[in-house]
Amino acid sequence: MAVTIGQLKENLGKEVKSRVLLAPYTNFKIGGPAKFFFEARSSADLIKAAQVANEFKIPFLVLGGGSNVLVSDKGFNGLVVLARNNNWQIEGTKVTAEAGVNLGFLVQKTVSFSLSGFEPLVAVPGTVGGAIYGNAGVPQVERGFIGDWVENVTVCREDKLVLLNKEECEFTYRNSIFKKNNDIILSALFNLNKGSFETSQELVKKFIAARRGQPYHKPSSGCIFMNVPIVDIEEVRHKFKGEEKIEDFIKKGQLPASWLIDKAGLKNKTIGGIQVSEDHANYLINIGGGKAEQVVQMISYIKQQVRDQFGIQLQEEVRYIGF
């Protein structure tokens, strides 16, 4: 028998809501309603919500800052839990943060404690939990990913608390074990370097300035595709003969998806309310009234064009919800 909002309120408290539009909780400003919606203000709330969803056998989703998701126009037919557990602590070089802590805020705090390491993450929107899920960061920088600084991560796995060390998190470029399982990330412990406030503050300014020119404040999910690892250097040299940036890409080991999309002539391409950004071709912008369906069509069109023109298969970075 289908669970009712009354039953959920009995188990989770009267704050549980039904039919809450998800668009305002995403950076894309796209997405239909969640059947049930709950804001978890503590890790205990997150665990309880997972237990209740399990008990009533309803689909369950944790949302952080909503900056890397595409929510279907039909929404999500289950319980969406917003991670808003946001305690944090700094002791020496050790930083503990719950999943719902805003990442940019945490970066600023670490800098103010004269700790170094997190500076490249300053302009990555979203939460600590979302960043760990996708090993967020900046590939151009040494130790530029959040996973590079993790000592351990505490998760809720099938109703049990589990402590995973860094190796067990299996961090790679835009990837982690959490993309393959249903763990709920509750908190993480990081070990940063001792640094100087002034140097870190300068670095933070540099990383913020590097975003200038990107459509940072427009509704999007950031980069829609992952960069493409270069496997066969000679093949890439041959395919893109005469391109001045190619040796630089080879050195970095990746072809930027934005460069490929731009080269395919797709900047400004528009489908309904969705447009390939003129400023950064790996951003799809919701220029007004954009629908998830149109984003899906655009993704499919870009993948086809890049495949046809360069024989390269792009892979989405954004997470599909409710499809």
Q: How far is the CB of 319 from ligand FAD (least distance, A)?
A: 4
317 carries an active-site annotation = yes
DSSP 296-320: HHHHHHHHHHHHHHHS----B-SEE
Q: How far is the CB of 301 from ligand FAD (least distance, A)?
A: 21
Output 139 or 272, the one with its CB closest to ligand FAD: 139
What are residue 97's phi and psi, to 5 degrees? -145, 140
Q: Measured between alpha carbons, how far is 83 from 85 in angstroms, rounded to an integer?
A: 6
Tell me the three state secondary structure of residue 231: coil
Q: How far is the CB of 179 from ligand FAD (least distance, A)?
A: 8
Q: How far is the CB of 146 from ligand FAD (least distance, A)?
A: 8
Output 120 or 195, the one with its CB closest to ligand FAD: 120
Angle of helix 103-112 relative to helix 197-209, nearest 10 degrees, comes to: 150
Output 143 or 239, the one with its CB closest to ligand FAD: 143
User: Residues 19, 151, 223, 316: which is the catalytic one?
Assistant: 223
Output 63 or 260, the one with its CB closest to ligand FAD: 63
Output 23 or 136, the one with its CB closest to ligand FAD: 136
174 carries an active-site annotation = yes
Q: How far is the CB of 1 from ligand FAD (least distance, A)?
A: 27
Q: Which residues pair with 28 in a beta bridge?
A: none
User: Residues 39, 84, 169, 174: which is the catalytic one?
Assistant: 174
Residues making contact with ligand FAD (CB under 6 A): 27, 61-69, 83, 99, 124-127, 129-131, 133-134, 136-138, 178, 184-185, 216, 220-222, 319
Query: What's the Cα-to-Cα distance from 27 to each of 212, 241, 243, 252, 301, rounded to whole Å?
Result: 18, 38, 34, 29, 22
Q: Measured between alpha carbons, how far is 320 from 119 in angstroms, rounded to an integer?
A: 29
User: Residues 10, 169, 317, 319: which is the catalytic one?
Assistant: 317
Nearest-Å Rg of the Cα atoms of the chain is 20
169 carries an active-site annotation = no
Q: Are 170 and 176 in contact (CB under 8 A)?
A: yes
Q: Which residues are catalytic?
A: 174, 223, 317
